[in-house]
Structure 1
Amino acid sequence: MFEDLDSRVSDVVQHYYMTLSGQAEEHEKSDNVAHGRRPEVLGGQQMNGFAGLVEELLVEAGVPRDAVKHDYHATLPGYYRHEKEWDTAVVYNGNLLAAIEYKSQGSSIGNNLNNRAEEVIGNNTDILKAYEEGLFEPSPAPWIGYLMLFVDDDESRKTRSLREPNFPADDEFQNAGYIDRMELLCLRMLRQRLVDGATFLLSNEDIGINGEYREPNEELEFERFARSLVSHVQAHIDHEQDTLFD
């Protein structure tokens, strides 16, 4: 399952940039796209290729395909709001096992980076509180995942000044570029257990069209993210099945 993971992630990164450049249909017909993914998952929006890859990894681990839901079918109740449409949710036998968001950041980083941070922190706080208040009973604690594909160029690497009219910003944000800030967000969410898995990928149009990407932080590698997700979901499904046949 994980032996060819690098090449499968490469395919999805390529699909993302092919979609941006209007070449996605040609790419989907080529041998570069891993076989077996549902066309309606792979096609459409740029990040849907990641949803397709996650689905295939779960199915290969024995998770029923109809338990892996996307977009509208992955809508879940919240605590501070009535509902949210997640990118992927795993719901098996009435149990919520996982909820995942896939995001990308290209141009206009300065305007969008704080919005991304507010969005993911709010979403994850909301779903965890919903679980604590029993909205998903009798589900176990769901596995929460966040994936970010971030642009890697001179602009995103450049050191940014901070506005500190009242108090100094955290030391970790001093002399940091946009890439550093987003990596720190992902890492802190993971270490503070606001997510169970976070992955941070870097690429750009010049290299991404060939499927090239890099992972700057070992703790945020896609393989760790995928292994943790699959292990969590698989363990709960195995437990359900063992209980059924006891």
Structure 2
Amino acid sequence: MPLDLADYENKAREAVKAFWGNRAAAAAKQKELGREDQGERASVTGGKNMDGFIALIQDVIRANGLTDAHMMMGRRVLTLPGFFRPTKLWDLLIVNDGRLVAALELKSQVGSFGKNFNNRTEEAIGTAVDLWTAYREGAFGPEAPRPFVAWLMPVEDAPESRSPVNDTSPHFPVFPDFRGASYIERYNILCRKLVQERLYTTATIMASPRTAAETGDYVDLSELTGLKTFVTSFAGHIAAEAARAPPGAPDRLL
């Protein structure tokens, strides 16, 4: 049975429009309340920036037959046990018949590239190492199938994120692929290595300018880290889970 990609290209453009539109609306609201000194932080206080991507993920789940899964979105049901810490709060979880089907992190980077790149990198690596160690130790059941683990991240496509960046390492040389790489290129390298090291099933970066609030424009940086790879891999994993599970109750969004 062929996979259903749920018209992801058009839905991704709508998700990008919503991402930038919701950021702008949140910033305007802060300005209206007289809180104009928060910089980019004012744009994320609404908490709805990634809703379009969540809707896309939900459509892929339903289109590929997993109609009885629990798609966890409320904060109270988004924690998983960790190994190096008691719990980790994820952005989106898919659970079916007591099995962890998927755990997804939906992040973004707009401005403040130099300040936040290392933080995002450490977060992505630490989150994955903690989850897979907990999985190895049976946190999700002694015979739990390997879950789909993904990192998806829109990054602002701007001169500041496209400009070469130089680093100094006085004792040992920086790896060649990082030398002079822009922040967008560094995020692409990060996502590629996260997948190659099997820390994530897929790791996706979408470069998009602020003007995409009107157009929904975005570009992939490589095939491995592109949105189509995420959607195709996710659809296949969902279809496999749907084939494993008998028909159940209607889907519930928590």
Q: TM-score, normalised by structure 1?
A: 0.86
Q: In the TM superposition, what is the alpha-carbon distance from 1:237 to its structure 2 partner?
A: 3.0
Query: Which residue is 1:33 aligned to?
Result: none
Using the aligned pairs only, state the percent identity: 33
CA distance in 1, matches of 2:6, 2:56: 14
Query: Which residue is 1:136 aligned to?
Result: 140
Structure with the greater relative contact order (CA < 8 A, sep ≥ 6): 1 or 2?
2
CA distance in 1, matches of 2:115, 2:48: 22
Decide which of 71, 80, 83 is 1:76's aligned counterpart.
80
Q: Is the 8 A contact 2:5 2:235 kept in 1?
A: no
Letter in 2 for 1:185: L
- Residues 89 and 225 (structure 1), Cα distance of their counterparts in 2 relative to 1, 3 Å cut: same
Q: In the TM superposition, what is the alpha-carbon distance from 1:207 to its structure 2 partner?
A: 2.9
Query: Which residue is 2:189 aligned to?
Result: 184
SS of alignment partner, residue 218 of structure 1: coil
Map 1:187-202 onto structure 2 (within 5 A): 187-202=192-207
Question: Where in structure 1 do 4 or more consecutive aligned residues deviate above 3 Å?
Answer: none
Query: Which residue is 1:34 aligned to?
Result: none
RMSD: 1.9
Decide which of 109, 122, 126 is 1:105's aligned counterpart.
109
Deviations 1:150-209 (A, max 9, x none): 111111111111021221111110111111111000001111111101211010112343
CA distance in 2, matches of 1:231, 1:123: 23
Q: Is the 8 A contact 2:65 2:239 kept in 1?
A: yes
- Residues 65 and 209 (structure 1), Cα distance of their counterparts in 2 relative to 1, 3 Å cut: farther
Deviations 1:207-235 (A, max 9, x none): 34321111121111212111211211321
CA distance in 2, matches of 1:60, 1:44: 26
Decide which of 9, 15, 18 is 2:12's aligned counterpart.
9
Map 1:1-246 onto structure 2 (within 5 A): 1-2=4-5, 4-22=7-25, 44-64=47-67, 66-72=69-75, 73-137=77-141, 138-241=143-246
Q: Is the 8 A contact 1:161 1:175 kept in 2?
A: yes
Gaps of 5+ in 2: 28-45, 248-254
Gaps of 5+ in 1: 25-42
- Residues 207 and 17 (structure 1), Cα distance of their counterparts in 2 relative to 1, 3 Å cut: same
Letter in 1 for 2:122: E
- Residues 3 and 240 (structure 1), Cα distance of their counterparts in 2 relative to 1, 3 Å cut: closer
Q: TM-score, normalised by structure 2?
A: 0.83
SS of alignment partner, residue 194 of structure 1: coil
SS of alignment partner, residue 205 of structure 1: coil
Q: Is the 8 A contact 1:71 1:85 kept in 2?
A: no
- Residues 23 and 167 (structure 1), Cα distance of their counterparts in 2 relative to 1, 3 Å cut: closer
CA distance in 1, matches of 2:10, 2:68: 22
Count how many residue pairs are aligned between Structure 1 and Structure 2: 224
